[in-house]
Each structure stands twice: as C-alpha cells, then as structure tokens.
Amino acid sequence: MRCDEIQALLIEVADGALAGALPPEVERHLADCGACRAEAAALRELLRTVAQDPVPEPPAPYWAASRQEMARRLGLRQRAAGPARPLPVRAWAWAGVAAALLLVVGVTLLAGRGLFPFAPSGPTPEETALLRNLEVVRDLELLEDVDILQDYELLRTLASQGRAT
Amino acid sequence: MHEPDEALLGRLRAGDASAFEAVIAAYQRDLYRLAYRFTRNMEDAKDLAQEAFLRAYRALPRFDGRSSLYTWLYRITLNLCLNHRRGKMPEATKETTALADPAPGALEALAESERQAAVAAAIASLPPQQRATVILRVQQGLSHKAIAEILDCSEGTAKANFFHAVRNLRARLQGYGAQEGSDAVR
C-alpha cells in the first residue's frame, strides 16, 4: 500500500471511525513508514486540540433563570401552572374581610330583593303558613321552658326542706 | 440524564406546555456551547441559544418528526449561528494576562492559549459547511449520520465535508503540534 492511499484513511483513523478495525495492510504500512506514523500522530493531535477548545460556561444560576425567562416569553407558565401556592397570612386576612363584606352586601341585597327585582315582593301563602307554624312551635318551646323552670324551683324547695330536716 | 426525545415529543403533541420547559432543560447547554463555538462570545451565544428555543417553539406545529428532536434543534441553532454577524472573526486571545503572570507554567499556558486561539481562527476561516461539520463532529461529538440530518445532506457528503475540513485545518495549522513528516510521504 502506498502513502497516498494511506493518507486518505488517516483522517478516519484519527477521528476514531476506524478504531479497532484497521485493515492489516494499513497497520503494516504504519509499522514500516515513519512519515505516515507522524502524519497520523499529527492528525490525532490536531483533532485533540480542536476537541479541547474550551467553552466558558455562564454562572450556574443562569440556566434556571434562562429557562424561566423563555417560559415567560412563550407564556408556558400560565398554561402549565404547578400546584397553587398557599396565600400568605395577610392575604388570607384580607380575603376573609372581603368574603365577610360580600356576605353582608349579598344578604342585604337579597333581603331587599334588590338583586332579584323579578321576584315577588311579599311572602307567598305557603311561606305565611310556615311562619305561623314556626311561631306555634316557638310558643310550645317557651311553655316547655317554663314547665322546666317550675319543676326546677320545686326540686330546689324540696331539697332545701330535706336539708333542713 | 434527561427525558428521552420520544417521550418529550409525545407530551408536546398532547399539548403539555411543561414539556417544552423539559426540552429547554435538556438541550440548553448543548445549544449554548454550539453557539459559542461559532460566536466565541458568551453573551451572543446565550442570546442565540435562547432565540433558537423560541423559534423552535413557534415552529413546533410544523415539526414533522422525520428528524430527531435534537438534530432539529441543532439545525435551527446552526442556521442562526451561520447568519449571525456573518464574517465576524473570533476574538483574539488575551495574551496580556498570561505574559504578565510570572507563575510557573505561565509559558506553557501561553503556548496552549495561543494554540487554542490559532485553532479557533483556523476553524472560523473554513467554509460554512466544513466549519459546521468540524464543530458538530469534533467539538459536539455528533455522529456523521446526525450531522447529515442537521445539514440536510447525505452521510457521504457529511463525511466528505469532514475530510476536507480536517485537511484544510491541517494545512492552516502547520507549526502547531506534532506535525512533522508529512512532506516525506512516499
């Protein structure tokens, strides 16, 4: 094998494409020819130097910051929101105040039917009957309470008499 | 170790917006390094890598999956790099720091630094396809098949580009490294 034939293969040899699979005639030529051996070494050294050309890395926090910046620019975060973060205490307090205010306003408006002008203004006959029944029940409960109080007074009297005897 | 491309693509196609963040996390360093090889400037490289992701995201609906995700991302970055300040040569290596440093090993460091600068300049002077091939093959460690996909050519053409690129570099870097004996070929 001649040197010019070997030369065409030396780049592949240096590149590693033929690593471990050099044809025997190439190996024989390299063993005998100092010039081709030197050329093979020079090519290996050249590729090693090219491969080792350093790349300065940005500071470590850059990568995450860059991802966030890109996600923001692409609007990814809104659509791929993670678990909701708990609100801070002050936010909870304000949320509670707002909810209470809404409740008060809502009840007031509903009581005055302000929000539902299409609703009837007075109670229906069924509602009136129900209210009447509720009043009866309340009176019964009051009577029961009175009975209980009377029983209680009677027991106290008996007890005090018993202690005196 | 990042999520396989196939899984990422599946999530992207299913409309999982968080999948693209995973793509960025998987490839942002590779694309930055690729861009740096071309620009020799950290800020430019950061900007180009980001721009590549933004363009890739917008082009996702047109990605047909015939190439792999990473070769597609590399191709977008490479096109941006080749169009970036076309003709700008790499920055010269700062020699003053090494010369002013009397510490042991300073001369060796200077020699190495000069050699790296010469290599960078030689690569920058190659025709675009050869330059891209050397960077992708030797510095980014890609296979000839992947390079062919990125450069949209046959594998044979990618290998031929590589062969010519190395021959050209060899010719331009006479005097650096163990390069004696080539005149004595039979």
Rounded distance between C-alpha atoms, residue B154 and residue B132, angstroms? 15
Portion 146-165 of B in contact with A at CB < 8 A: 162-163
A7 and A47 within one domain: yes
CA distances from A165 to A14, A154, A160, A161 (A): 123, 17, 9, 6
Task: Please name each of the domains of chain B with its CATH number.
Answer: 1-87 (1.10.1740.10), 100-175 (1.10.10.10)
Output the pLDDT for position B145.
94
Q: What's at A137, amino acid-wise?
A: V
Of A18-22, A25-29, A64-68, B122-126, the range with the lowest mean pLDDT is A18-22
Residue B179 confidence (pLDDT) above 50: no
Q: Left (φ > 0), alpha (ψ -120 to 50) or beta: where does A16 sit?
A: left
* Chain B positions in Cβ-Cβ contact with residue A29 (cut-off 8 Å): none
Between B45 and A101, the higher pLDDT residue: B45
pLDDT of residue B183: 41
Instruction: Indicate whether A99 and A138 sit together in one domain.
Output: no
Nearest CA in chain B to A9: B163
Owning domain of residue A27: 3-51
Q: Are residues A107 and A142 in the same domain?
A: no
Find the range with the poorest average confidence among A96-105, A111-120, B96-105, B166-175: A111-120
Q: Choose from B119, B125, B172 for mutation: most chain A CBs within 10 A.
A: B119
Best-predicted range by mean pLDDT among A18-32, A75-89, A122-136?
Answer: A18-32
Domain for residue A37, yes or no?
yes
How many domains would you assign to chain A? 3
Sequence-distant (6+) residues with CB within 8 A of A131 are: A123
In a domain? residue A70: no
pTM: 0.66
| B137 close to A (CB below 8 A) | yes
